Amino acid sequence: MDAFGLLAHPVRLRVVHAMCGGRELTTGELCDRIRDVSKATVYRHVDLLAAGGLLEVAGERRVRGAVERRYRLRRDRAGINEEVVASLSPDDHRSAFAAALAVLAAEFTGYLDRDTADPVADSVGYRQHAVWLSPGELRGMIDGMRKAIAPHLANEPSPVRTQYLISPILFPVEAPPAGTGADGTAAEGPEPGTL
């Protein structure tokens, strides 16, 4: 199974999120984190991620006659490149989006079910904003979000850090104006809003 096939599943995506930041976890520890999914299901998806090369064994030890493995995420394999994204069908995008939404719902429910959940104190946010953007403004906004998020992706767990799930979702809710090219740029004349 390719990386897209592996990552386009809610349970496997939750395992990948749990492993971020250089964590090394056993399947049992993952089961403790993903409590709403059966242990057998978590074990099966960990096996698939390991067989697909997204997880690697970081260490092994004997526990009551069985071998307990600690896994770590292979960051170089746990992503989808632009070439793969460009090759996806609308049904592939639909499936991946459904998996992302399922992860958001499951993780948020897990958060709210904790006795210590405090959405105000934890700065929880799930706002949606409808904004009007030219193609240049859109690219600038995306670049700004990348610059804000990217430096933090390599952060490792520490006693003063809490893991947050950040899920930028972006798509046009209506077709681009007539007279624009396939990439959304003006077919002729200046870009709207310029002189």
Series of mean pLDDT values for 10-residue runs along the chain (195 residues): 89 93 93 94 96 94 91 89 91 93 93 94 93 94 95 91 91 82 48 36
| CATH 1.10.10.10 assigned to 3-126 | yes
The HSE-up count of residue 7 (CA atoms within 13 Å, CB side) is 22
- Whether residue 12 contacts residue 6, with contact meaning beta carbons closer than 8 Å, is answered with yes
**Helix or strand or coil: residue 139?**
helix
User: What pLDDT is attached to residue 189?
Assistant: 38
User: What's the predicted TM-score (pTM) here?
Assistant: 0.78
The predicted pLDDT at position 177 comes to 82
CATH 1.10.10.10, the chain: domain bounds: 3-126
Per-residue confidence (pLDDT) for residue 184, from 0 to 100:
54
